[in-house]
Amino acid sequence: MTGLGVTTTVTPKAAAHRPAAARASAGRGLWVTGLLLLLALGLLALLAPLTGSPYRIHTESLTAQGLPGGPGTPGHPLGTDAIGRDMLARAAHGLRSTLVIAAVANLASVGLGTVVGLVAGFYRGWIDQVLMRTVDVFLSVPTVLSGLALASIVGQGRTGAVVVITALYWAWTARLVHGEVTRLRARGWVEAALAHGVPPRTVLRRHVLPHLSTILLNIAALNGASVVVVGAGLSFLGAGIQPPTPELGNLLADGSNSMMYAPHALVVPLVLVIATVLSFVLIAEGLNRRNPLSKRHSWLDA
C-alpha cells in the first residue's frame, strides 16, 4: 500500500530476484575495489626504480646516536632502516619481487592444476585414479614444513620460490577443477557430442573449458592471496629471496629485528603484505558474489 492508496503487488519471483541483484551489485563493488587496490600496488612496484636504490646506505639519515631516521626524514618520506637504507625504495622493490613471484607461481600452479583436473575429470578410469591419488598425497602434506624441505632441495631465490609455491598449490586447483569437470562431463550435451564422434580434445576445448572460466578466476584470485603469504613467509624464514635483495618477507624479518627502535621498518612491509592479500581476497569475494550459481554465505555478509 502506497501513500496514494495504490496497492502494489510483488511477485515471489521478483522478491527472490532482489537479494540476488543486491548480491551481484555488492560483488561488483568488491572486485572493482580489489582490482583498483591491486593496480595501485602494481603501479608502485612498476615505478620502483624511480624511488632510488634499495641498497644505498644514507649515513646522513642516521641520528647522532646512530639510530635510523623515522618517517618524514628529509629525503626519506618513509624513513630508513636500521643501517640507513631508504624504506620507500626498499619497500617498492620488495613489493615488486613479491608480486613477480606471486604472478608466476600463481600462473604455474593454476595452469598445472587445471591440466591435471581436466584430464582426470574428463577421461576418468585409471587415469582419474592415478592423478587424483597423487593430488591427495600433495594435499595431505603440511604446507610450511614441506615448503621449507623443498626449498632446501631446489635452492633459494626467485626460481626456487616459484617452484616451491607451485608444488604446494597446484593440487588445490586440480581438486576443484576435477570436481567441476566431472559435473560437466555428465551433462547431456557433452555425452551427445562424444556419441556423435566429436574428438575428446575438441569437446574439452569447445564445451568444457569455456564453462571453467568463472571458477578459474576465483581460484586464481584466492591462490594469489595464499601465494603472497607463502612467498613472503619463505623469505621471512630465510628459505626464499635472500638479503640484501629486498622482498616483503625479508623486509619483515629485518624490521622485526629493529622494531624496538625503528618500528616503521616493520610496519611498512607489513602494510604492503596486508594490502596485497586484501586486494586478492576482495577480487575473489566479488567474483563469487556475482556468480548466480553461488549461494555460499560470505564473511562479508555478517
**pLDDT for the residue 20:** 54
Is 300 inside any structural domain? no
**pLDDT for the residue 299:** 39
Distance CA 27, CA 36 (A): 14
Q: What is the pLDDT along the chain (302 residues), one digit of tens a residue?
A: 444 555 555 555 544 455 555 555 666 788 899 999 999 999 999 999 998 888 876 766 666 556 677 787 788 888 888 888 889 999 999 999 999 999 999 999 999 999 999 999 888 889 899 999 999 999 998 888 888 889 889 888 889 999 999 999 999 999 999 999 888 887 777 778 777 778 878 888 887 888 888 889 999 998 999 999 999 999 998 888 888 889 999 999 999 988 888 899 999 999 999 999 999 999 998 888 866 555 544 434 44
Spatial contact of 162 and 102, defined as CB atoms under 8 Å apart = no
Distance CA 108, CA 130 (A): 21
**pLDDT for the residue 146:** 87
Q: Which residue carries 619463505 as its cell?
A: 234
The rounded Cα 265 to chain-centroid distance in angstroms is 24
Is 45 inside any structural domain? no
Is 102 inside any structural domain? yes
Is 280 inside any structural domain? yes
CATH code of residue 211: 1.10.3720.10
Exposure of 94 in the CB half-sphere (CA atoms within 13 A)? 36
**Could you tell me what percentage of the chain is helix, strand and coil, using 3-state DSSP and rounding each to the nearest 5?**
75, 0, 25
Is 68 inside any structural domain? no
* Domain count across the chain: 1
The rounded Cα 35 to chain-centroid distance in angstroms is 12
Structural domain of residue 237, as residue ranges?
94-295
Is 33 inside any structural domain? no
Is 184 inside any structural domain? yes
Q: Which residue carries 615488486 as its cell?
A: 96
Is 235 inside any structural domain? yes
Task: Name every residue whose Cβ is closer than 8 Å to that of residue 282 and which is 6 or more positions away in sequence.
Answer: 30, 31, 33, 34, 37
Q: What are phi and psi of 256, to 5 degrees?
A: -65, -25
